[in-house]
Structure 1
Amino acid sequence: MELEPGTPVFLEELEARPPHFIGRTVRVTGTLHSYSPKTDRATLVDGHSLLLIDTKLLGVYQYHIRQTYQLIGLIAASVLDDHKQLPKDLEEDVRYSLDIVLQARVVREVDGLDMAVYRKSVVLLRTFLSDEIETAPSIPM
């Protein structure tokens, strides 16, 4: 089984178009707001956007609330009881979609990452890759 690399996306992009990302492997970065080992659920926030994380595939990992993490995983349709996993203190403060959940398979702590610089680098990478695709010579078949 070949695993796809995670395409860097921002939480606000996931929140804006949740169905577009279902079935895609993505890489997200944000601050851990909550984690429940009992339900294998976590919430990741970035600015005013939130994403529910399914941590079952990650195994044992020591999470630290309010630290920055980067996760790679598959975006899947959320199950009906996922709305119960949303921390009460976030319900009014953030935008989110309960239509999707990230089934994380890779996690790493990136505390200290300058998010403004990271965002700029992702935008530049996207621009570079789109230019490369447009200028690439066609390969005869």
Structure 2
Amino acid sequence: MEPDEIKSGALVSLQDLCPSSPFFKQGASLRVVGKLLEYSLETGLATIIDGDNSLIVTIENLKDLNFQVDSVYQFIGELLIQPDHEGVLQARVGRNVDGIDLDLYHQSLLLLRQFQANHLNN
């Protein structure tokens, strides 16, 4: 793989982004979904939530995206681990996914992980 090749974002839920998770790695390319809690164009930061979990997302590269609080967004980008062990997603792609059934999304993510685990074992 080329050093500057862009990796696809691994599907993860916000619950998966704790320090003990295998997805919680510096520079990991991730795809997350969450409801927009707040954002600031001045700071280039947004906060998304899913249940009790939250994630800060840098949105400075997403100039053409119209943000709306309480809408659901999907972001693809790289995880940056801060000195305080907080993860921040540096988004390179974002889109509004209002209308997505988050419960069904989580169920499909679990099924995908089960399939991948079974496939790797065979």
Distance across 2 between alignment mates of 1:99 and 1:30: 17
Deviations 1:45-98 (A, max 9, x none): 000111001112222321011000111110002378xxxxxxxxxxxxxxxxx6
Number of residue equivalences: 118
The equivalent position to 2:44 in structure 1, one of 40, 46, 51, is 40
TM-score, normalization: structure 1? Answer: 0.76
1:123 is aligned to: 110
Contact 1:14 1:21 in 2 (8 A): no
* Structure (1 or 2) with the greater helix fraction: 1
Q: Percent identity?
A: 34
**1:36-115 → structure 2 map (5 Å cutoff):** 36-78=40-82, 99-115=86-102
Distance across 2 between alignment mates of 1:47 and 1:7: 20
Contact 2:44 2:59 in 1 (8 A): yes
Superposition RMSD in Å: 1.9
TM-score, normalization: structure 2? Answer: 0.87
Unaligned runs of 5+ in 1: 81-97, 136-141
1:40 shift after superposition? 0.2
Contact 2:48 2:54 in 1 (8 A): yes
Distance across 1 between alignment mates of 2:20 and 2:67: 28
Runs of 4+ displaced beyond 4 Å: none
